[in-house]
Structure 1
Amino acid sequence: MFFNFKKSAVKAVKLSYKYKVQSLPFLNFQRYSYVNVYMKWKKDSYLDSVEHIHESIQLKPIIALKNCVVQDPNGCIPISAVSKRGLQLDVPMKVARFLRQYPSIFEEFTGPQYNLPWFRLTPEAAEIDRDEKRVYEECQEELKSRLRKMILMTRENVLPLKIIQGMQWYLGLPNDFLQHPEQNLDESFKFVEMEDGLKGLTVDSGEKIYSVMEKNAMKRGLYTGGPMETIEFPLYPSKGLRLRTKIGNWLQEFQKLPYISPYDDFSNSDQNSDIVEKRLVGVLHELLSLFVEHSAERKKLFCLKKYFGLPQKVHKAFERHPHMFYLSFRNKTCTAILKEAYSNNSAIEKHPLLRVRKKYIKLMKQSEVILRNRRVKNRFSNYNAELDLDSNNLDERGHDMTSCSLEQVM
């Protein structure tokens, strides 16, 4: 929280209305002195316990391997088909070991040749896979819309294909989405060659797109769709966190600044101006609202800086605005979570794929029970085997003793 937004900043906005400046008014916004504000991080037990956020990291390689199985015409694959693709599929260990950790999803059997282990989906996993395909088919337009919005937030309305592929999991797109453009994309999307030799995907802007913030403000009658209107971000303070007076004043002035849509061109604005701070927060808010879990690993968002025109220290925005974003440090990583999505159910539309992922996670959890029961069963079997062994030894000793006594009698 660097900025000290003075009353003169608000006056500058009013002047832009008075003289009806034709160009975007924020291009002439003045810069003011910085205030070094430290915002304390506060643990949020609820957001740290949301399963579909934190289990998503484990679920991703499971879905990737599941897709390898269902894409095979026979619906089953030998371990050799995926054993060397662990890095590509984000599997954190040997693929065979990983598959065996989830017996509720993957069923192992001995193959027809060389006694190799083969894997297929369990009936429960196969049913969820069919449900997932129905969602992709029925919600294809919405998925395209989310991809379109992300591309239109970039400076030049174009993103490299490798960046899109890296964001497919968060956007809820199928793994092969870009491999079948004739099925998944319409005429508004075009493949282009980018300056750095990369292949990219661009999209025609068409009609004006309103962000989630703008739509919600319109519903409340607080926004008419004009430029330089003020929209205050919804704030959700952590329990027990009290702001110092200096920080509270800073936050009030920040909220009074005009809201600049993530879809508006800002290439000619001063990147060190006060208003760019608010636009940056608006971009992150809109981006997370497009994702399935309304969250993402913070490091994964860094690849977007160049194409979204974000500052080098974009990660600081999450720390400076803890009333809007929560940083969770579970799973040995830093996950940025949009608080509004988990505090106001009606504010942000749920992703259609979220329901399916929750089903996969529930099934994934059943693997722990299956493996535990197997360990108990093995222990019981070993214990019975030891008892049998001991009883056999006793029988042999008894037989020997009987023989000896008979010989003595004789």
Structure 2
Amino acid sequence: MTRVLQTFTKHKLNPPCSISFGPFNSSTQFRWKKKPTSTARTRLETRTRDLKLDQLSARFKKLNLILHLHKLMIDKKRGPFVSLQLMSRWNNIIGLNIGIGAFLRKYPHVFDVFTHPVKRNVCCRITEKMKGLLNEEEDVVRDLELENVKRVKKILLMSVNGRIHVHALRLVRRELGLPEDFRDSVLGKYSEDFRLVDLEVVELVDRDDESLRVAKIEEWREREYREKWLSEYETKYAFPIDFPTGFKIGAGFKEKLKNWQRMNYVKPYDVNEVVRVRTCGGIERFEKRAVAILHELLSLTVEKMIEVERIVHFRKDLGIEVNLRELILKHPGIFYISTKGSNQLVFLREAYSSGCLIETNPIHDVRRKMLELMLMGCRNTKELKIEKEKIKDRTANQVLYNDGERGGRDTDFVISILENCHGHNYDYGASDIEDSSE
């Protein structure tokens, strides 16, 4: 006991609170306790990065912030614009690490920041171009209603019992291209296909539709078999592999990959009951089935990407009882995780080339226009000044019209409002930021 205390004193270490003899005393725990390690975390830190997909992920994160901010502006229902004093309270809600004024100033083609002609406070509204794109997206989603029904039915066919929690679908609503009110416009409208078991569970009525039981990967396998003259043994259970630039291939890696490609497994639409490790033929085949389910789920999305945390909500319904993040990192030739931002995005590598989606769709085309409008930054602002002049004229006429309806204001006061409206500089400077912060 004395010798142990002398050791702590010699090396200037804090002795444990109480030392007792035995195999599990405090000194033993202090000396032999190892730092916990995670395989997924190690692979995430040492993975080969794809700079194009990382850049795309960062841009989509900014676009999602803009759309979240627009949703908050609409939910308040205070009119066509919102004051910056109110918007400054939303920093923690949308996850902004800079002031709301500085953020809005970076995207003048998306947000129109101006001084109210009557109240003289700084306000913000969505520009006409951005508003037009948002309306166009709603129209496209409405036109693709039958495609939305097909996507939901395919997800339900992959589930272990034909049921999916509505909350999980709600989390990936935008990724799947579903409308805001998909519970009524899709699930409720097509009652012959879907049945709500309770408030949060939707069930597929008919699971015998064989035309929907074909995975997206089967199209690629058919092309490989027909165009490259490969044997069915090589292509029947294979996946397209596309490693990022600079990926290091170790000794024996190619042989392991070839064996994994040839290994058979239970396909996503081939089972109507819970698939477990024993019935699937071992842990490797069970994991390969999980890869196939994740591959099909990403193929059903609009941009072939989804947040990892949102996929977790499908684990129980789809029968994926594995560590999803570790599974994704284990197959860098099929999936890629981007850690740009607070949320981790997983991409389907085969769907992208040089950071661009290969096979586009109408919803992606509209969102691409939103992205381009956001990336314009402060360029081409001359067109914005012309549009602002038109908006100022409309605002002035509206003020004059409202005053005529009320008939209670002095004419000189209305004229001063119009002069201030036309003479005020609408560029958002540092002085406006200081006023808004107060």
- TM-score where L is the length of structure 2: 0.64
Give the match for residue 434 of structure 2.
Answer: none
Write the mapping of 1:305-320 to structure 2, written as runs, cut at 5 A. Answer: 305-320=315-330
Distance (whole Å) between structure 1 residues aligned to residue 426 and residue 139 of structure 2: 37
Q: Please say if 1:230 is aligned against 2:236.
A: yes
Distance (whole Å) between structure 1 residues aligned to residue 130 and residue 373 of structure 2: 8
Query: Is the contact made by 1:83 and 1:94 (CA closer than 8 Å) also made in structure 2?
Result: no
Given the superposition, is the C-alpha separation of residues 293 and 112 from structure 1 closer, same or farther in structure 2, using an over 3 Å criterion? same
Query: Is the contact made by 2:298 and 2:348 (CA closer than 8 Å) also made in structure 1?
Result: yes
Give the match for residue 60 of structure 1.
Answer: 64
Distance (whole Å) between structure 2 residues aligned to residue 361 and residue 344 of structure 1: 17
Q: Please say if 1:342 is aligned against 2:343.
A: no
Q: Please say if 1:287 is aligned against 2:313.
A: no
Query: Is the contact made by 1:78 and 1:116 (CA closer than 8 Å) also made in structure 2?
Result: no
Query: Is the contact made by 1:86 and 1:93 (CA closer than 8 Å) also made in structure 2?
Result: no
Q: Please say if 1:276 is aligned against 2:292.
A: no
Distance (whole Å) between structure 2 residues aligned to residue 336 and residue 182 of structure 1: 27
Give the length in aligned residue pairs.
Answer: 334
Distance (whole Å) between structure 2 residues aligned to residue 174 and residue 111 of structure 1: 34
Give the match for residue 151 of structure 2.
Answer: 146
Given the superposition, is the C-alpha separation of residues 368 and 310 from structure 1 closer, same or farther in structure 2, using an over 3 Å criterion? farther
Give the match for residue 209 of structure 2.
Answer: 207
After superposition, give the CA deviation of every residue in 1:311-361 in whole Å (9 maximum; x if it has no partner): 24121111111111122222244322111001499x975343111111111
Given the superposition, is the C-alpha separation of residues 364 and 184 from structure 1 closer, same or farther in structure 2, using an over 3 Å criterion? farther
Q: Which runs of 5+ in 2 are unaligned?
A: 1-38, 386-424, 431-438
| One of 142, 165, 178 as aligned partner of 1:160 | 165
After superposition, give the CA deviation of every residue in 1:144-181 in whole Å (9 maximum; x if it has no partner): 22222223222222222221111112112233322544
Give the match for residue 336 of structure 2.
Answer: 326
Distance (whole Å) between structure 1 residues aligned to residue 270 and residue 188 of structure 2: 30
Q: Please say if 1:358 is aligned against 2:368.
A: yes
Query: Is the contact made by 2:242 and 2:334 (CA closer than 8 Å) also made in structure 1?
Result: yes
Tell me whether 160-169 or 229-238 shows the greater mean CA deviation: 229-238
Distance (whole Å) between structure 2 residues aligned to residue 375 and residue 127 of structure 1: 22
Q: Which runs of 5+ in 1 are unaligned?
A: 1-35, 380-410
Tell me whether 161-170 or 233-242 shows the greater mean CA deviation: 233-242
SS at match of 2:346: strand
| One of 168, 171, 174 as aligned partner of 2:179 | 174
Once the two structures are TM-superposed, the CA of residue 255 in structure 1 deviates from its matched residue by 0.7
Q: Please say if 1:251 is aligned against 2:263.
A: no
- TM-score where L is the length of structure 1: 0.67
Tell me whether 85-94 or 148-157 shows the greater mean CA deviation: 85-94
Query: Is the contact made by 1:171 and 1:290 (CA closer than 8 Å) also made in structure 2?
Result: yes
| AA of the residue aligned to 1:341 | A
After superposition, give the CA deviation of every residue in 1:8-50 in whole Å (9 maximum; x if it has no partner): xxxxxxxxxxxxxxxxxxxxxxxxxxxx99976212233333x
Query: Is the contact made by 2:83 and 2:123 (CA closer than 8 Å) also made in structure 1?
Result: yes
Query: Is the contact made by 2:91 and 2:100 (CA closer than 8 Å) also made in structure 1?
Result: no
After superposition, give the CA deviation of every residue in 1:292-326 in whole Å (9 maximum; x if it has no partner): 22122223322222222212412111111111112
Q: Please say if 1:303 is aligned against 2:304.
A: no
Give the match for residue 409 of structure 2.
Answer: none
Once the two structures are TM-superposed, the CA of residue 377 in structure 1 deviates from its matched residue by 9.1
Distance (whole Å) between structure 2 residues aligned to residue 141 and residue 313 of structure 1: 34
Given the superposition, is the C-alpha separation of residues 192 and 298 from structure 1 closer, same or farther in structure 2, using an over 3 Å criterion? same
- What is the CA RMSD across the aligned residues, in angstroms? 4.2
Query: Is the contact made by 1:172 and 1:291 (CA closer than 8 Å) also made in structure 2?
Result: yes
Write the mapping of 1:21-32 to structure 2, written as runs, cut at 5 A. Answer: none
Query: Is the contact made by 1:231 and 1:259 (CA closer than 8 Å) also made in structure 2?
Result: yes
Distance (whole Å) between structure 2 residues aligned to residue 167 and residue 253 of structure 1: 34
| One of 40, 47, 54 as aligned partner of 1:48 | 54
SS at match of 1:234: coil
Given the superposition, is the C-alpha separation of residues 72 and 244 from structure 1 closer, same or farther in structure 2, using an over 3 Å criterion? closer
Given the superposition, is the C-alpha separation of residues 231 and 62 from structure 1 closer, same or farther in structure 2, using an over 3 Å criterion? same
| One of 268, 274, 277 as aligned partner of 1:267 | 274
SS at match of 2:372: helix
Distance (whole Å) between structure 1 residues aligned to residue 170 and residue 146 of structure 2: 18
Give the match for residue 239 of structure 1.
Answer: 245
Given the superposition, is the C-alpha separation of residues 175 and 60 from structure 1 closer, same or farther in structure 2, using an over 3 Å criterion? farther
